[in-house]
Amino acid sequence: MTNTQHDHILILDFGSQVTQLIARRLRESGVYCEIWPYNQADDKRIKSFNPKGIILAGGPCSVLEEDAPTAPDLVFTLGVPVFGICYGQQTMVKQLGGHVKAEQSREFGRAFVDILNHSEITSGVWDKGAHEQVWMSHGDHVASLPEGFEVIAKSDGAPYAFIADTARHFYGVQFHPEVVHTPHGAELLRNFTHNVCGCSGDWTMASFRTEQIEKIRAQVGDAKVICGLSGGVDSSVTAVLIHEAIGDQLTCIYVDTGLMRAGESEQVVDLFRNHYNIPLIHEDASKRFLSGLEGISDPEIKRKVIGGLFIDVFDECSAKVSTGAKPAKFLAQGTLYPDVIESVSFKGGPSETIKSHHNVGGLPDDMELELIEPMRELFKDEVRALGRELGMPEEFIRRHPFPGPGLAIRIPGEITQDKINILRKADTIYLEEIRTAGLYDKIWQAFAVLLPVKTVGVMGDARTYDYVCALRAVTSTDGMTADYYPFEHKFLGRVSTRIINEVHGINRVVYDITSKPPGTIEWE
Ligand code: XMP
């Protein structure tokens, strides 16, 4: 269903890791947009979407390859402004009669452009003659322009870093305005949508809520929906949103995997059953998960096993939800964009597979339930904004993210009940200290990891031989990149002392100072 009350911008995706950031920047400036894979944009669909402008996003291919992806020709004849970014610029240039070259002078990361001419997009942001920072990621570059284009800016590696055909309102940039490392990128995109395309910028999170509720009602009809609660913000917001749309057609299922943090199950059950009055099945499947994971060390296999078991339990619970001829037809999930982007390869959408996050990667092909994923396009902080919009308790909204596979991916190597118990105790102490120090809200995610390594220690004159506990705390805005949190040494010392004194089985504590990239937030 297309939303008709707002101006639309269409973003065609050629497989870049950062395409969603374009959508995010547009949403931040109040513009409704949709991302479609380039090969799913047929003429009829584009016309009925009625975009006020089209953005051609980046991608990993080279336009010089045979069968390289191209934009539908209609994009250039529809009479609306077009903004090509990186690969999008290159395919636009090639399709309109210019040339692209593969050169030695590849540019990755920070670069600078010299502004040579004025344009509607740079207006009020970059002055002619200025030298401005951008973020580049390209091998090929534009070598000659199609008729009607002029150069707006150049960089050392890209003579046509920014080009414009003012008459047709076609623009192209070699750099990525959507990433924060292009400091004025959001303003450039805003100039495109607001000034060039004429979008009014009246789209808000309240609109998102209303539109998603309409969408959910249209998709579901009078069918029943089940929603898995994980205890985290994503599934909780999903459940409350869906409950608002369809009321008691929704039943929540809380699968207790036995891999949750201490006290978490009780909190979830209390909030949903007692506070929201949402029908809830609390299924204790901890023994099943533990025996399914026996002997498994590989993180990807762990995720697949957990994902598979999850779905099995869901199928069984959905049978309980069914009455007579009306079984549950839909499964709602709190999948977010970072889960999607890191799980799907280019053939099906954007980006290389890094980790198969279980809520997208583990679904079997023969699953009987259809998926509803109303937050598939959102980043974490946007989900929190939606939760606030829905009036959810602040304490729940501010909760650190917790991964679907739970403590299983915080115990590298084989998982045992004993290790889970040890990790829970350490994690509780760590988070208690973080809250006491008033640091919880400054941190994106903090957790303990139990390493499959034993080291020698000495306690009360006796030799110990116990596990190492690693502490992780990161700052982030979207989970895509992250930096370690710079705790004071005194704080770390206090946590370490408490963990070693209070948790039997741990005799050494280390702090992880890896950022993402090159690390990931979780250890597995
Ligand atoms: P990574 O470790 O990939 O984590 O840097 C990014 C964010 O995703 C969470 N995460 C997961 N969430 N299933 C989930 O639902 C998973 O398999 C999974 N793996 C990582 C992680 O906690 C962080 O917030």
pTM (two decimals): 0.72
Q: How far apart are CA 468 and CA 422, in angstroms?
A: 11
Same domain, 80 and 219: no
Beta strands in 202-290 (DSSP E): 224-229, 250-256, 280-284
How far, in Å, is the centroid of ligand 1 from the Cα of 18?
A: 18
CA of 385 to the centre of ligand 1 (A): 20
Same domain, 376 and 444: no
Residue 325, CA atoms < 13 Å, CB-side half-sphere: 1
- 371: CATH: 3.40.50.620
Which residue's structure tokens are 């284009």?
A: 149
The two most distant CA atoms of the chain are separated, in Å, by 83
Examine residue 516 and state whether it is found in any structural domain, yes or no. no
Residue 162 to residue 173: CA distance in whole angstroms = 4
Confidence bin at 471 (pLDDT 50/70/90): very high
Among 107, 138, 169, 178, the one annotated catalytic: 178
| 347 has pLDDT over 50 | no
The reply to whether ligand 1 has any atom less than 6 angstroms from the CB of 360 is no
In one letter, which amino acid is 176?
Answer: H
Residue range 125-143, pLDDT digits in tens:
999 999 999 998 877 889 9
> 469, 509 in Cβ contact below 8 A?
yes
What is the whole-number distance in angstroms between the Cα of residue 494 and the centre of ligand 1? 28
Question: For position 4, what pLDDT does the model report?
Answer: 58
Same domain, 191 and 219: no
Q: What is the pLDDT of residue 352?
A: 44
Q: State the Cα–Cα distance between residues 480 and 516, nearest whole angstrom.
A: 8
Q: Cα-atom radius of gyration of the chain, to the nearest Å?
A: 25
Ligand 1, atom 11, residue with closest C-alpha = 403
Residues 476 and 347 in one domain: no
Q: Residue 169 sits in a domain of what CATH number?
A: 3.40.50.880
> Is 178 among the catalytic positions?
yes
Name every residue whose Cβ is closer than 8 Å to that of residue 4 and which is 6 or more positions away in sequence: none
**Total structural domains within the chain:** 3
Least confident of 47-56, 272-281, 409-418: 272-281
C-alpha 138: how far from chain center: 23
Same domain as 185, residue 231: no
The verdict on residue 275 lying in a domain is yes
The pLDDT of residue 423 is: 98
Q: Quick one: 42 and 87 in the same domain? A: yes
Of 397, 430, 447, which residue sits at a domain end? 397
Per annotation, catalytic residue among 6, 169, 176, 358: 176
Q: Rounded mean pLDDT of 14-26?
A: 90
pLDDT of 342 above 80: no
Dihedral through CA 381, CA 386, CA 391, CA 394, nearest 10?
Answer: -10
Give me the percent of the chain exceeding a pLDDT of 70.
92
Ligand 1 neighbourhood includes 231 CB (under 6 angstroms): no
In the listed set 150, 175, 196, which residue is the last one of a domain according to the structure? 196
pLDDT at 406: 93
pLDDT band at 105 (very low <50, low <70, confident <90, very high): low
Q: Which of 6, 8, 33, 86 is catalytic?
A: 86
**Cα 320 → chain centroid:** 32
Q: Each residue of 276-330: pLDDT tens digit? A: 999 999 999 999 999 999 999 999 999 999 999 988 887 888 778 766 667 788 9
Report which DSSP code applies to 143. Answer: E
The mean per-residue pLDDT over the stretch 192-202 comes to 97
**Beta bridge partner(s), residue 252:** 227, 280
To test the ligand 1 pocket, which listed residue (522, 523, 524) has its Cβ within 8 A of the most ligand atoms? 522
Note whether 466 and 376 are same-domain residues.
Answer: no
Q: Which tokens hold the place of 121?
A: 């997009």
Residues 104, 188 within the same domain: yes
Q: Which of ligand 1's atoms lies nearest the C-alpha of 234?
A: 15
Does one domain contain both 436 and 469? yes
In a domain, 80, yes or no: yes
Lowest mean pLDDT among 335-339, 430-434, 443-447: 335-339
pLDDT in tens, 141-165: 899 999 999 999 999 888 999 999 9
- For residue 242, tell me if it sits in a domain: yes
Q: What is the CATH number of the domain that holds 487?
A: 3.30.300.10
Residue 404 lies in a domain: no
Buried b (16+ CB within 10 A) or exposed e, 220-232: beeebbbbbbbbb
Overall average pLDDT of the 344-350 stretch: 40
Alpha carbon 61 to chain centroid, angstroms: 22
- In angstroms, rounded to a whole number, what is the distance separating the alpha carbons of residues 62 and 467? 49
> Is the residue at 410 inside a domain?
no
Rounded to the nearest angstrom, the distance between the alpha carbon of 379 and the centre of ligand 1 is: 13
**Is residue 176 annotated as part of the catalytic site, yes or no?**
yes
Q: Which amino acid is at 31?
A: V
Residue with tokens 């002029």: 150
> Does one domain contain both 240 and 321?
yes
307 C-beta closer than 6 A to ligand 1: no
Residue 287 lies in a domain: yes
Please say if 120 is a catalytic residue: no
Residue whose CA is at the smallest distance from ligand 1 atom 17: 357
Same-domain status, 322 and 227: yes
Question: What number of residues does the chain have?
Answer: 524
pLDDT: is 380 or 286 the higher one? Answer: 286
Residues linked to residue 331 through DSSP beta bridges, in sequence order: 226, 371
Whether the predicted pLDDT of 355 surpasses 70: no
**Which H or E run contains 395?**
helix 394-397
Domain endpoint, select from 145, 179, 196: 196
Residue 524 lies in a domain: no
Q: Residue 453 corresponds to which tokens in the numbers above?
A: 């390594």
Q: How far apart are CA 227 and CA 252, in angstroms?
A: 5
> What is the sign, positive or negative, of the torsion defined by CA atoms of 380, 381, 387, 392?
positive
- The pLDDT value recorded for residue 324 is 60
Under a CB-based contact definition with an 8 Å cutoff, are residues 239 and 250 in contact? yes
- Quote the CA–CA distance of 344 and 413 in Å, as a whole number: 25
Burial class of residue 137 (count of CB atoms within 10 Å of its CB; 0-12, 13-18, 19+): buried
Q: Which residues form the domain of 229?
A: 205-397
Q: What is the pLDDT of residue 230?
A: 82
The verdict on 149 and 264 lying in the same domain is no
